[in-house]
Copies of this chain bind each other. A is one copy, B any other.
Amino acid sequence: MPHRAPGSPGHSRQQFLSGKPIRYYRPTGSADIRRLIDEGFQAFNAGRLSEACAIFADKMLAPENNTTIGVTVAGAMTPAGVGGCLIELMHRGLIDFMISTGANLYHDLHYALNFTLRRGSPFVDDRELYEDGVIRIYDVLFPADVLLQTDAYIRDFIVRAGFDEPMSTSEFHYRLGLDLLQRSPGCEEHSVVACAAHDGVPIYTSSPGDSSIGMNIAYHELMNGSRFMIDPNKDVNEVCAIVLAGQQNGCVILGGGSPKNFYLQAQPTLWEVYGIPKGGNDYFIQITTDQVVWGGLSGATPSEAVSWGKVNPGVLPDTVVAYVDSTIAFPLFCEYAVGSPNNRRVRKELLSQRERLVANLVREAKAAEEKKKGVGTVD
């Protein structure tokens, strides 16, 4: 499909699906792009994006800081083809854990299962799409059958896996990734979920019921009487434990939404609930199109986060928000990081550390409780 055609009438299904396939673009560390970002992106959001690149590549990735880096993913990033950036970062050890909407993981499965999403237009007639069985995510188009078959795969996987009790999302996504890797060896190169399993990166979902993955798990409970469910408590505690263990902590927030809040609540959980005075994030990078003036958490600034203890008051210079569509900014950001001297770290493999880290959280929480009892309690 050539360039956008608002209101162009009379498309057939074949025409809707004639756009180029969307592929996961993999950043290669272009020196040209680094030069553009350093020298051409000087002010306004170009300046902010340039700052974000420098903070990430020069500080967060600096070996001596050993920063535990979480990335949060909201907005339909995998349908838009941004998954390759996440894969490249995971392979290189540049991100340690991920919090994503379920939708991004669900649509990532299409790539793992070799279905094709295509470039399209946001200006098509949705009633024609509906009649033709074509699904639209803004300007990304694909047959409804892709949903049905991905759903069938998920349900089949759950049955095969024999899950029958509560589980964290990190464990579920890990097991799902292993299944994909077994089914299609090498698919860690074109699936975020498979890659994360391959590279030991835990993936959390803050809204586990809120996606087609969650829908199919719910089916299993209702129709098969399974006791398999996502236990949100495990997710909360694992993320807290990971953050607690970080020498330094930093985040790259794509969009905002529930994943942003879920990442940022780790520090308040530590001090508010567990009584552990960990302190806030050392680095905070957000790429978003939301705005602070609407008052919501998606658009809230690193500064506001200081009052909650989510960000260290002393590090505001190492926080930055770039207001720009992640589909543009994140590939540029990743090109910069991949081309930087700090472009590879030993992977933290947090997936296999979870148990140990949670045990440590319990230990510290109990110690804090004891200490508090010793001095009398305030609340």
List residues of A whose CB falls within 8 A of some B CB.
Answer: 2-8, 20, 22-23, 25, 27-28, 30-33, 36, 39-49, 51, 54-55, 74-76, 79-81, 101, 103, 119, 122-123, 125-127, 129-131, 134-140, 145, 147-149, 151-152, 155, 166, 206-212, 214-223, 229-237, 240, 255, 257-258, 261-262, 265, 268-269, 272-274, 289-298, 300-309, 313, 316-321, 323-325, 327-329, 331-332, 335, 358, 361-362, 365-366, 369, 378-379
Residue of B nearest to A43 (CB): B80
What is the minimal beta-carbon distance from A49 to any residue of chain B, in angstroms? 6
Instruction: Name the residue on B nearest A46 (C-beta).
Output: B327
Which residues from chain B contact A40 at a C-beta distance below 8 Å?
25, 27, 81, 331
A331 near B36 (CB under 8 angstroms)? yes
**When the two chains form their complex, are residues B272 and A151 in contact, meaning their CB atoms are under 8 A apart?**
yes
Q: Could you say which residues of chain B place their CB within 8 Å of the CB of A332?
A: 36, 328
Of the candidates B32, B219, B221, B306, which one forms a contact with A32 in the assembled complex, judged by CB atoms under 8 Å apart?
Answer: B32
A295 CB contact (under 8 Å) in B8, B76, B208, B321: B76
Q: From the candidates B290, B313, B324, B362, name the one contacting A328 in the complex (CB within 8 A).
A: B324
Q: Which residues of B contact A229 (CB under 8 A)?
A: 166, 229, 231-233
Q: Known contacts A101-B258, A219-B274; decide if A323 and B307 are in contact (CB<8 Å).
A: no
Interface residues of A, dominant DSSP = helix
Known contacts A210-B262, A268-B215: does B45 contact A308 (CB below 8 Å)? no
Which residues of chain B are near A231, meaning CB under 8 Å? Answer: 221, 229
Closest to A81 in B: B42
Residue of B nearest to A291 (CB): B291
CB distance from A359 to the nearest CB of B (A): 10
Q: How far is the CB of A349 from chain B (nearest CB, A)?
A: 23
Please tell me if the beta carbons of B232 and A138 are within 8 angstroms of each other in the complex. Answer: no
A-B contact pairs, 24 of them (CB 8 A): A6-B303, A7-B7, A7-B126, A20-B42, A25-B40, A30-B32, A31-B32, A32-B32, A33-B36, A41-B328, A43-B295, A44-B138, A47-B327, A76-B296, A126-B313, A136-B304, A137-B304, A138-B300, A139-B295, A151-B272, A218-B240, A219-B273, A222-B362, A223-B365
